[in-house]
Chains A and B, each alone.
Chain A
Amino acid sequence: MNSDTLSEKQEKLLALYYDKECNFFEKLQVKRIIKSNPIATEFLNDLAKCTEIVNEEVNGFGVKDLNGFCSSLNLRIANEEHAEIFHGSRNELVKVNFSRRINLNFLPWALSGALAMALIFNINSEQSLDVIDNGLPKVVTNNGVKVPSRVNVARKGNLSNRKLRVSNVSSSRAPQVEDEIFDATPYLKQREYLYNPDVEVDWIRSNGSVHLIQQRNTKAPLIWISRRR
């Protein structure tokens, strides 16, 4: 290989490398060219200089063919809008930082608060063993004395194990309603489309009124467009 010049293929490859559009194998090839040929480095430097000059021109509003530039911009916008109709609008992915989302500064306070609450409820629950004697609920305290309770609610265990039992149900009985059973078999066939949809339409667009023709015998998609009058 002549080390004084670069072939057209090599120049193209280097340009791709400069634009960061090379794949893994092309990158390996470029690195090999740079090692073997000093002109390759010069070529890359020239590309960098060119980019700088172009950037200065564009940033300084020195675009010579402003009409062409604007029309290409408009074309790009129109293409994007057209694509939005089919694919929806393009949104940038937002990376959520886990540590920012959950403020960990409150963690020690939250833990200590939870510990304190747990301690308080454990102390309370020590006097909660329930004994029901002759229909009257009694609460056993820490020293083992049974105290009759007027509240018709039994407490047992800690907060999570407490269950409310309503002792007087008869006073709050709901009015009885007789149930009736209906036969839904005749309607099953009508709902077959839920399990076996024959024709599904994602969208229909036309310049007239669109009708989907329903059929008895066949289940083909039949579309009819009548002109707007």
Chain B
Amino acid sequence: MRALTFVLVIFISANSFAEKKNIGFDLYSIEAIGVRQSSVKVKMNRSLAPFKDHLLQYPFHNYRIKYMSQISVPVMEKEKFLLSDNESLDLRVLYCEQKRASLWINWKDEAGRELLDTRVHFNKNEPLIAGIEEGEFKGKLLLLKVKD
């Protein structure tokens, strides 16, 4: 009986202390300024060059990184991150498989008002970008890219 209890305890404790899989992300908070005319060239920080094709879908002509970080989130656990201007980001990775990933995102402004709450499933090699209009010629973007 004692031996069985010992084995059970070892098994339960091993399970509870098992390391959870951490998923790495590149997180960018981007300020977008100026409405782009059809022939105007777009200016952006060099680190944003890999996401050029995606950012050109938005109607701005100047993209500037306000906050940049490399974060790590355990699967199925909620993590809170503070962005620039006291904004906050709650992030939960639902799964991250070979090709696909799923994220729950809750983006709040400095007053704690919800800017965006979404759950998305997407291809892992693509970045997830969420943008919000701030003024007439201004917007802020949030870019998340799963690390390889």
A residues lining the B interface (CB < 8 Å): 25, 197-208, 213, 215, 217-227
Contacts and interface: CB of A to CB of B under 8 A. Distances in A.
A222 B133 contact: no
A219 B123 contact: yes
Q: Which 3 A-B pairs have the closest CB atoms?
A: A220-B126, A202-B119, A200-B121
Given A205-B117, A220-B127, A225 B133 contact: yes
A166 to B, nearest CB: 54
B113 interface: yes
A223 B130 contact: yes
Interface residues on B, range: 20 to 34
Interface string B23-62: 0000000000000000000000000000001100110000
B126 A218 contact: yes
A198 B133 CA distance: 25
A225 B130 contact: yes
Given A199-B122, A222-B57, A204 B117 contact: yes
Given A197-B121, A201-B121, A224-B132, 4 more contacts: A205-B117, A206-B115, A207-B115, A223-B131
A202 B126 CA distance: 18
A77 to B, nearest CB: 21
Contact of B128 (A197, A200, A221): A221
A220 B114 CA distance: 23
Given A25-B5, A218-B126, A207 B57 contact: no
Interface string B57-76: 11000000000000000000
Nearest to A218: B53
Give the dominant DSSP class at B's interface: strand
A226 B128 CA distance: 17
Given A205-B116, A207-B115, A218-B126, A225 B132 contact: yes
Given A208-B132, A220-B127, A224-B58, A199 B53 contact: no
Given A199-B122, A213-B57, A220 B117 contact: no
B118 A226 contact: no
Contact of B131 (A199, A202, A217, A224): A224
A220 B123 CA distance: 7
B18 interface: no
B65 to A, nearest CB: 18
B129 interface: yes
Contact of B57 (A201, A203, A215): A215
Given A206-B114, A218-B54, A222-B54, A201 B128 contact: no
B122 A198 contact: yes
A205 B57 contact: no
Nearest to A225: B132
Contact of B120 (A201, A207, A226): A201
B27 to A, nearest CB: 15
B129 A223 contact: yes
A207 B114 contact: yes
A207 B122 CA distance: 23
Contacts of B121: 197, 199-202
